[in-house]
Chains A and B, each alone.
Chain A
Amino acid sequence: MPDITTNTGVLTSLAAQQGGVDIVLDHITKQYPGQQRPAVEDFSMRVEPGELIMFVGPSGCGKTTTMKMINRIIEPTSGSIRINGDDVLSLDGNELRRHIGYVIQQIGLFPHFTIAENIAIVPKLLGWSKARIAERVDELLRTVQLDPGTFAQRYPRQLSGGQQQRVGVARALAADPPVMLMDEPFGATDPITREKLQAEFLRIQADIGKTIIFVTHDFEEAIRMGDRIAVLSDRSQIEQFDTPARILAEPANDYVRSFIGEGAALKRLALIPVTDARIGSADAAAPAVTVDEHSSLREALDTLVLTGAARVNVTRAGAVVGSIDQAAISAALGSEGPARRAEEA
């Protein structure tokens, strides 16, 4: 079997890629026997290395099925998938999955394994040495902000839902896979925990730069997290695939518009930092409340509305550097949208 050597070579090269790699899905179709229409039909997409791609769509639209074909928990009926240029359908499924991080909504920690043992699962499958595993577990627990001394020897049921999902993320990152698949990972947590986990995950991703496919039905989450968002409809058809700002500014059709829902302008403001707007000179009459230049225009607007003032002062590292008014905020919204794209063209 000459295939075996090639497979091992491909997997070794995959394992060596610690940042992200590119993923190409080429005309993927999944047809379940006995069903009239395919669950996923002719899905093609190219994901750049280190990108965080959000799949958004209603339940049953095939977004999860599409994602699960990448690590071959579900085998595609036709089409090809290439990770880092290599055809994954020719690899051994179990071996492949050890090199792709996988996080699911129900977390699926092993209840009879300690937290440390849970995180060590994939490294053990890959035959790492004990010392290397112990070191890695320690490092990962710190990465997800759980104190190893406190948590390593606990069992999953002794942790809160949010802590368990942190362990879920740590476990998926254990062998430093270049690709991560995340299926509504924060969906089962309360809104406050969810926002915290999202922010934490973005901070981790900024460091590690994995290529991530992230499935969600929550459009707000997609906007907050995604580098690009694929809005999917029935049979995993791509209605629009673009950056959050572009999708908000120029929804491709009514379907995408319905997904965005009310308040598209406000959602866009949340994506634009204060520094992108035209900042005027500092205003002595402005209220005591200020906004940092790194906060979003939405926060700036929020402050304006709350105080009823005409301008609010902008600070950099605590020092007032200028001020912003509603006109500047509106202008920033315009330049971020169609106007600026027209200029670019």
Chain B
Amino acid sequence: MTGPQVVPSATTMLRTQSAPRRGMPVLLRRLMPLIVVAVVLVLTYVWVSSLDLDSIEQRTLNADYITARIGEHLVLSIIASVLVAVLAIPAGIAVSRSRSKVFRGVVIGIANIGQATPAIGVVILLAIVWQTGFTTALLALVIYSFLPVLQNTIAGLAQVDPSIRESARGMGMTPSQVLRRVELPLASPVILAGLRTALVFAVGVATVATFINAGGLGDMIINGLKLQRYPVLVVGAILVASIAVLIDWAAGVVEDIVRPKGL
């Protein structure tokens, strides 16, 4: 599971890094996800409007219901990602600072297991041994999205040029000043790419929260399936996919804004 994680984050990083220097096509490519999502959503709306909805479908395919589900979905995904940032970045720093191979192995090993275990398995197991609901779904998401951020923090710190670290020390910066003013800013593009991956993961995996009564767009997908109301299923699926694309797009924009100048 280690390989595939780093690759997508590394490629997103390369793409966004070379992006700002290529003029108009870049702007178009930048806006492409927005355009595609808008077109898909409009088409879906037109299609659903043309359907004769029965009472079950009407109960689901209305603005109030959909807004509530999207809200649940976003709250779950975003809180999970914030928690991952708060936990995995310090863990990555601790692993980078530690000389103990055992510590490093244990932390990365646990993160790998969290990621390798199918999300639905984690959710159901946690619900059985603990409880159902929001908190459980949140924990499952955190476990699942921990690895990309941890790994990218470690990789980001490792790629800081040793001579920059040496000159920082040679000028009398304390180790914590070196970390805060030099290493973290220089590692930030890679760390942010990891966070972006985690966020997109979280949006996708949050659909399984429905199994333990934690809401989200998974509700629409599962209800649509169980009750064989395909418009409900399709709308739920399209919304999840659209949110994932939009979140990825927004995270990309944030990456560009936050990246230190001069890199």
Chain A positions near chain B (C-beta within 8 angstroms): 71, 73, 94-99, 102, 104-114, 121-122, 125, 155-157, 171, 181
Q: Give the complex CA separation of A112 and B258 in angstroms.
A: 12
Contacts A108-B166, A111-B186 hold; do A102 and B171 have CB atoms under 8 A apart? yes
**What 0/1 readout, one digit per residue, does chain B (130-170) give for beta carbons within 8 Å of chain A?**
00000000000000000000000000000001011111111
Contacts A94-B172, A97-B172, A98-B172 hold; do A155 and B262 have CB atoms under 8 A apart? yes
**What 0/1 readout, one digit per residue, does chain B (240-263) give for beta carbons within 8 Å of chain A?**
000000000000000000001111
- Residues of chain B within 8 A of A107, CB atoms compared: 163, 167
The answer on a CB contact under 8 Å between B169 and A97 is yes
Does residue B231 face the partner (Cβ distance < 8 Å to A)?
no
**Looking at the complex, which one of B167, B172, B262 makes contact with A112 (CB distance below 8 Å)?**
B262
Contacts A94-B172, A111-B263 hold; do A73 and B185 have CB atoms under 8 A apart? no
Q: Give the complex CA separation of A125 and B167 in angstroms.
A: 14
**What 0/1 readout, one digit per residue, does chain B (17-34) give for beta carbons within 8 Å of chain A?**
000000000000000000
Q: Give the complex CA separation of A107 and B163 in angstroms.
A: 7
- Residues of chain B within 8 A of A73, CB atoms compared: 166, 169-170
The answer on a CB contact under 8 Å between A125 and B166 is no
- Residues of chain B within 8 A of A111, CB atoms compared: 164, 186, 262-263
Q: Give the complex CA separation of A16 and B165 in angstroms.
A: 28
Residue of A nearest to B259 (CB): A112
Residue of B nearest to A93 (CB): B172
- Residues of chain A within 8 A of B161, CB atoms compared: 106, 108
Contacts A106-B163, A108-B161, A110-B168 hold; do A94 and B263 have CB atoms under 8 A apart? no
The answer on a CB contact under 8 Å between B173 and A112 is no
Contacts A112-B185, A155-B262, A157-B262 hold; do A104 and B171 have CB atoms under 8 A apart? no
- Residues of chain B within 8 A of A181, CB atoms compared: 170
Q: How many residue pairs, one in A and one in B, have C-beta atoms under 8 Å apart?
A: 68
The answer on a CB contact under 8 Å between B262 and A156 is yes
**Looking at the complex, which one of A97, A114, A155 makes contact with B171 (CB distance below 8 Å)?**
A97
Which of B164, B186, B261 has the largest number of chain A CB atoms within 10 A?
Answer: B164
- Residues of chain A within 8 A of B167, CB atoms compared: 102, 104, 106-109
The answer on a CB contact under 8 Å between A112 and B186 is yes
Show 10 A/B contacts (Cβ-Cβ < 8 Å), sorted by A. A97-B172, A104-B163, A108-B161, A108-B168, A109-B164, A112-B185, A122-B171, A125-B171, A125-B172, A171-B171
Residue of B nearest to A168 (CB): B167
Q: Give the complex CA separation of A112 and B164 in angstroms.
A: 11
- Residues of chain B within 8 A of A121, CB atoms compared: 171, 173
Nearest 9 pairs of A and B residues by beta carbon: A108-B167, A155-B262, A106-B163, A98-B172, A97-B172, A102-B170, A112-B260, A108-B163, A94-B172
Does residue B182 face the partner (Cβ distance < 8 Å to A)?
yes
B171 smallest CB distance to A (angstroms): 5
Residue of B nearest to A181 (CB): B170
Does residue B174 face the partner (Cβ distance < 8 Å to A)?
yes
**What 0/1 readout, one digit per residue, does chain B (80-114) give for beta carbons within 8 Å of chain A?**
00000000000000000000000000000000000
Q: Give the complex CA separation of A104 and B163 in angstroms.
A: 8
Residue of A nearest to B262 (CB): A155
- Residues of chain A within 8 A of B185, CB atoms compared: 112
Q: Give the complex CA separation of A98 and B170 in angstroms.
A: 8
In the complex, besides A102-B167, A125-B173, 20 extra interface pairs with C-beta distance below 8 angstroms are: A73-B170, A94-B172, A94-B173, A97-B170, A97-B172, A104-B166, A104-B167, A106-B161, A106-B163, A107-B163, A108-B161, A108-B164, A108-B166, A110-B168, A111-B262, A112-B185, A112-B262, A122-B171, A125-B171, A155-B261
Q: Give the complex CA separation of A97 and B169 in angstroms.
A: 8
B86 smallest CB distance to A (angstroms): 24
- Residues of chain B within 8 A of A71, CB atoms compared: 170
Contacts A104-B163, A108-B163 hold; do A113 and B172 have CB atoms under 8 A apart? no
